[in-house]
Structure 1
Amino acid sequence: MKEIVATSKKSNPLVKKLAYASTDGAGNLLFCIISSYILYFYTDVYGLSVGAAGLLLLIARIVDSFDAPFWGSIVDHTKSKYGQSRPWFLWLAIPFAVATFLAFSTPNLSGTAKVVYAGITYVVAGTIYSGIATPITAILPNLTNNPDERIHLNTFRMVGGNVGNFAAVTFALPLVALFGGGNDQKGFSLMVGFFGIIAVALLFFAFFNLEEINTKKAVSIPFKDSLKAVKGNWPWVLLVLANLAFWMALTVRTSALLYYFEYNLGSKELVPLINGISIIQVAGMMSIPLISKRLKKTGTMLFGLGLAVLGQLLLFFAGSSMVFLIISWAIACIGSGIACSMPFAMLSDAVDFGEWKSGIRSSGFLSAMGSSFCIKVGAGLGSYFLSIIMARTDYVANHVQSSQALAGIQFVFLGLPAILFILSALPMFRYYKYEKQEAQIRADLVVTRDQAN
């Protein structure tokens, strides 16, 4: 009881907030390179056909996604002097960097061996990323019991993640050109290696500056008991559905951007600039604590998704007008930044709901399925839909595209993300009723934990 009350009355120090921000900064620094450039790398650098690359990504992501409950269960079973989630930032930092480097390497292979190498390295990098992403989300309900502080911490996390994303998508191609000197295979490998060193340093910083509560008396939870925290946990189910559709939309948009600017606009050199402008979504993320006070968490997410859809629709009318395009893109990025942030904060409430409903606090399992599972399956499905549409509209890598192929690229960059953002919004209308129960749930949990002590 003392721990709960004390935590709820004080804010976390700045260094702790920066440490939490660095976790997602490191994760996004490498994972956003994978999600944004892996399809382009496979088709235009590594030499796979767009159909083969898309199918490979789908199969790999589906296989890879099954590691989410695995990692969730591992986190729930972790008992160390460092805590439950925190030690994984130390243990997996270097393997994550090495695996991502190998995924963007180009050994002298051909035929089936080439595809197998791509598939294995992609799955390994994704699996280790889940081992990083799961404790990033799972640790939040164990950093503080104060719901307002959770939103503040999550805001720092998402801003840190966005900075990582900004660095990755803005400087990746210039660094490829700098390091490669015209050899994109060499350039991609060295660029990922450079970012990998930074990611390792950020994860070490997080490990040494975070501290967990609610875990001192935590007991290992059998996997079958983790599933009990899912039964009747409708807030969690709704968040999973919304987050899955959101990551499909975001992956389609980010992956199609390079194709759209290179072939439809003939301005590949503008890609770093456009990606750099996406940093504006930090403004939306930082405004979340203020917005959520007026609109609550559910309304804040719906507001973000609405802005994302509006921005996508405005891009249809931008054409080659750079000013209109930048304004439309900024609106879309601010909206998607807000919408991206909210599920991670709301998953903490779903963990509380699961404990209140079943008596089982399964932070790792629920967080893994609600975050890394959605990210990876959404990314896999998004990449697959993108590749299928491009293949069926006769896209040919490194060639002048037909009018049909250009129409396909335009649809996957502008139209398909808007449709998926709308699908993401639908479950959230149902979430309102559960958000109204949160204050009573937290009060009940305080009594239950006090009685247990």
Structure 2
Amino acid sequence: MECVKTDKNYDAVSKKEYVGYFAYGFGQCFSYGIVGSFILFFYTDILKISVAAASAIFLIARVWDAVNDPMVAGFMDTRRTKSGKFKGYMKFAPLLIIISTVLCFVSPDVSTGGKVIYAGITYILWGTVYTISDIPFWSLSAVISDNPQERTSLVTAANLGVFAGIGIVGSVLPPLVVLLGRGVASKGYLLGVAAIMLVGYAFMMFGYSTIKERVEPTQAEKVTKEDVINTLKTNKHLFKMLGVFSLNLFMNIVNGMVIYFFTYNMNNAELMSIFGFVGTASALGFFGIPMLTKKFKKKHILMTIVSVDIVVRVGLYMLGYSNVGVLMIMLGITQFLHAAAGPLMSTMIAETIEYSEARTGKRCEAIIFSGQTFTGKLAAALSGALSGVILTMIGYNANATVQSAQTLNGLFLAISIVPIVGSVLRLIILSTYKYTEDEYKKDLQILESRRTV
């Protein structure tokens, strides 16, 4: 499905659209942040299901996603809504996200086995619904504009919303649980999640109302199964970038384990709120990305960020956590670096659309971005499963007032040193990545020459 501008002098992306694109990602990621940061704790300490059962739920859900996400993407690539290729899905998806997220935090009065079944069904439902929203959200960056600099700015705005949304729920939900639960944690989680998601719905619908698709297909040509396979077989750069993106799982481990760390190591669960605000503020790191990409290649910027992250984490471990102020500053720096890497990875993934289109003649935006959606959820699931393994290995005792020294040391290692593994793996993959700005511009020229014939 080759795409062209409907008008060579099409209007530039407005500031309101940038704000709207930010707003949709911001509201949507209230859901991702809540589930990613609190669902394991909710399962183990509120529902009282085992770590092993929770880990099994996460992994089963991702097996389903491996089938579901490409199916959803294929459907979107072969059909068009009244509002555009992708925008129409974003009209009803927000309501589905609210319902599925709230259902994940219901504490049914049933047996432990029944709770495991309920948790599995609602978590898989959430992942399915999230796909319906996330794939068109990211795919829109390829049809709002085909201008490389505008696209980088759009992806930056989207990532700003994503990281800000994930960060802010970490600070807002804990006090809401206390305020609304009035001593009953299960009630607090349900009401707190519901309240946050209603606000998220408003942001998402505002975003939907502002976005305009400009890049249109030349004809209603269906993308066949063979086209999808050829796109994926050809696009070797996509898989490398998805590998880099999937390593977010190590930061997801931090986000999932830090509530245990604050509760037991620091004896102050309220620090989670400060951590959430730090995560939100770290999204400010996005603003420098468009400027940097004008002077340096995205690959080199990303490798620099990853290298600095390794150094900072070693420093964090050596300094320890006796000084709360120093601890929060160091955690803030790691959050800032993680946030800055986000738009770089998303833009590099988006650029592989033109790579495959130049070689196959098929654009397949949804298929490309379904990879990002799937690896994002895979990272969340694997981080949940690995967090469960870590908790078991370090002897975590759910609901115990005091944890052993082994457990406390293990929790600190999990939030400081374990993510270094992901950074090292990213450096290895990026050192072999060859699709830089030079190659991308050549493919844009190829596509432009085809459109003018």
Q: When the two structures are superposed, what TM-score results if normalisation uses the length of structure 2?
A: 0.94
Query: In structure 2, do the counterparts of structure 1 residues 2 and 253 end up closer, same or farther at CA, with 3 Å as the change threshold?
Result: closer
Which residue pairs with 1:75 in the alignment?
76
Aligned equivalents of 2:177, 2:152: Cα separation in 1:
36
Could you tell me how far 1:178 is from its partner in structure 2? Answer: 1.0
Could you tell me how far 1:131 is from its partner in structure 2? Answer: 1.1
Which residue pairs with 2:228 in the alignment?
226
Identify the match of residue 240 of structure 1 among 236, 239, 242: 242
Which residue pairs with 1:112 in the alignment?
113
Task: Specify the SS of the correspondent of 2:214.
Answer: coil
Q: Deviations over 1:79-132 (max 9, x none)?
A: 122011111111211111101100110111113211010001001011111111
Q: Deviations over 1:297-356 (max 9, x none)?
A: 112222232333333222212322123212211210111001122221122211111100
Which residue pairs with 2:417 in the alignment?
415
Which residue pairs with 1:338 in the alignment?
340
Query: In structure 2, do the counterparts of structure 1 residues 445 and 55 end up closer, same or farther at CA, with 3 Å as the change threshold?
Result: same
> Contact conserved, 1:29 with 1:199, CA < 8 A, in 2?
yes
Which residue pairs with 1:190 in the alignment?
191
> Contact conserved, 1:62 with 1:380, CA < 8 A, in 2?
no
Letter in 2 for 1:6: N
Which residue pairs with 1:319 in the alignment?
321
Query: In structure 2, do the counterparts of structure 1 residues 2 and 420 end up closer, same or farther at CA, with 3 Å as the change threshold?
Result: closer
> Contact conserved, 2:165 with 2:280, CA < 8 A, in 1?
no
Letter in 2 for 1:424: R
> Contact conserved, 1:258 with 1:271, CA < 8 A, in 2?
yes
Letter in 2 for 1:53: A
Query: In structure 2, do the counterparts of structure 1 residues 331 and 419 end up closer, same or farther at CA, with 3 Å as the change threshold?
Result: same
Aligned equivalents of 2:226, 2:239: Cα separation in 1:
18
Instruction: Tell me whether 1:264 sits opposite 2:270 in the alignment.
Output: no
Which residue pairs with 2:364 in the alignment?
362
Aligned equivalents of 2:301, 2:9: Cα separation in 1:
28
> Contact conserved, 1:292 with 1:299, CA < 8 A, in 2?
no
Task: Specify the SS of the correspondent of 1:215.
Answer: strand
Query: In structure 2, do the counterparts of structure 1 residues 86 and 2 end up closer, same or farther at CA, with 3 Å as the change threshold?
Result: closer
Q: Which is further off, 318-327 or 78-87?
A: 318-327
> Contact conserved, 1:171 with 1:272, CA < 8 A, in 2?
yes
Which residue pairs with 2:9 in the alignment?
6
Q: Which is further off, 47-56 or 143-152?
A: 47-56
Query: In structure 2, do the counterparts of structure 1 residues 2 and 69 end up closer, same or farther at CA, with 3 Å as the change threshold?
Result: closer
Aligned equivalents of 2:236, 2:53: Cα separation in 1:
37
Task: Specify the SS of the correspondent of 2:277.
Answer: helix
Which residue pairs with 2:394 in the alignment?
393
Query: Could you say what the CA RMSD is over the residues aligned between the two structures, in angstroms?
Result: 1.7
Letter in 2 for 1:152: S
Could you tell me how far 1:205 is from its partner in structure 2? Answer: 1.5
Structure 2 gap ranges (5+): none
Aligned equivalents of 1:426, 1:3: Cα separation in 2:
41
Task: Specify the SS of the correspondent of 1:250.
Answer: helix
Could you tell me how far 1:434 is from its partner in structure 2? Answer: 4.1
Aligned equivalents of 1:119, 1:196: Cα separation in 2:
21
Could you tell me how far 1:180 is from its partner in structure 2? Answer: 0.7
Aligned equivalents of 1:2, 1:352: Cα separation in 2:
15
Query: In structure 2, do the counterparts of structure 1 residues 305 and 71 end up closer, same or farther at CA, with 3 Å as the change threshold?
Result: farther
Which residue pairs with 2:144 in the alignment?
143
Q: Aligned ranges for residues 8-87 of structure 1 at < 5 Å? A: 11-87=12-88
Query: In structure 2, do the counterparts of structure 1 residues 65 and 314 end up closer, same or farther at CA, with 3 Å as the change threshold?
Result: farther
Letter in 1 for 2:23: S
Could you tell me how far 1:196 is from its partner in structure 2? Answer: 1.7
Q: Percent identity?
A: 24
Aligned equivalents of 2:434, 2:358: Cα separation in 1:
18
Could you tell me how far 1:273 is from its partner in structure 2? Answer: 0.7
